[in-house]
Amino acid sequence: MSKTYRNIVILTGAGISAESGIKTFRAADGLWEDHRVEDVATPEGFIKDPHLVHRFYNERRQHLLNGIEPNTAHLAVASLSQQRQQEGHGQVTLVTQNIDNLHQRAGSEPIFPMHGELLRIRCKQSGELFDCHEDTSPEDHCPCCDIAGNLRPHIVWFGEMPLYMNEIERALSQCDLFVAIGTSGNVYPAAGFFETAKHFGAYTVELNLEPSVTASRFDEQYYGPATELVPRFFDSLN
């Protein structure tokens, strides 16, 4: 692959954060940190047991804030876009399905966290967002409307519309290289982004620990741990 690419879209999933110590989502058995996704990652689960859902994201948030650091794969993604920006080389658009803040801490900017962010909370009524580093509960009063129970995690749950779709669609239609990193290809619409990019003429590459469910339809595939594969792959683009 020796061509010089101009506009690059990078899609990351839970696999890029695995070596930082954050568990991936186990699509095969539908479990996320030993919880059924229906219970902790759907609007119905939140209505049924808001205490459980707040507790689940409190645990994820406290874990993230206590000793979890970006790894060499997050850093390689950030340095690719910084380097290309400095050189005036076209756009690198980073789309992540991850709710952790490891890309942001590695220095990636701009970034589209399409499934929301663990360190933000939102008013169900107004949609206003608040930074959140502390534990939350259904008894908390919302800072904007002062109503108890109006705050919810700023997470896109199954059945809800992902964020930044217009920006993502635009980037997909303009890229000439699409790279998927550490994503199993089970969660839509993200799992279909490579097809959109391909449709508009992009070359598509998968970097993952093991073949995703859509692996064979990518133009190129490399398998191994993200901390090794990602720096090596981006070095090869220079």
Q: Among residue numbers 76 through 105, which ones bind ligand NAD (CB under 6 A)?
A: 97-100
Q: Among residue numbers 129 through 148, which ones bind ligand NAD (CB under 6 A)?
A: none
Rounded to the nearest 5 degrees, what angle is found at the Cα of 70, between the Cα atoms of 210 and 135?
A: 105
Asked if 15 touches ligand NAD (CB under 6 A), the answer is yes
* Count of C-beta atoms within a 10 Å radius of residue 147: 13
Q: Cβ closer to ligand NAD: 171 or 226? A: 226
Q: Cα(60)–Cα(129) distance, rounded to whole angstroms?
A: 19
Please, what is the minimum distance in Å from the beta carbon of residue 151 to ligand NAD? 20
* Count of C-beta atoms within a 10 Å radius of residue 158: 12
Q: Is 115 a catalytic residue?
A: yes
Binding segment toward ligand NAD, per CB under 6 A, in 25-33, 47-55, 87-95, 144-152: 25-33
Q: Among residue numbers 30 through 49, which ones bind ligand NAD (CB under 6 A)?
A: 32
Please, what is the minimum distance in Å from the beta carbon of residue 16 to ligand NAD? 6
Q: Cα(179)–Cα(16) distance, rounded to whole angstroms?
A: 12
Q: Cα(16)–Cα(207) distance, rounded to whole angstroms?
A: 10
Asked if 25 touches ligand NAD (CB under 6 A), the answer is yes
Binding segment toward ligand NAD, per CB under 6 A, in 24-32, 104-112, 129-137, 198-206: 24-32
Among 136, 134, 139, 60, CA closest to 101 = 60
**Applying CB under 6 A, which of residues 19, 49, 140, 219 lies at the interface with ligand NAD?**
19
**Helix (H/G/I), strand (E/B), else coil: 65:** helix
What are the CA-CA distances from residue 117 to residues 7, 94, 98, 127, 186 (Å)?
26, 15, 8, 14, 20
Q: Checking DSSP bridges between strand 129-131 and strand 151-155, what pairing results, if any?
A: unpaired
Annotated active-site residue in 115, 133, 141, 154 = 115
Q: Tell me phi and psi for residue 95, to 5 degrees.
A: -115, 125
Please, what is the minimum distance in Å from the beta carbon of residue 209 to ligand NAD? 3
**Applying CB under 6 A, which of residues 208, 214, 233, 234 lies at the interface with ligand NAD?**
208
* Active site residues per annotation: 115
Binding stretches for ligand NAD (CB under 6 A): 13-15, 17-19, 22, 24-25, 27, 32, 97-100, 115, 182-184, 186-187, 208-210, 212, 225-226
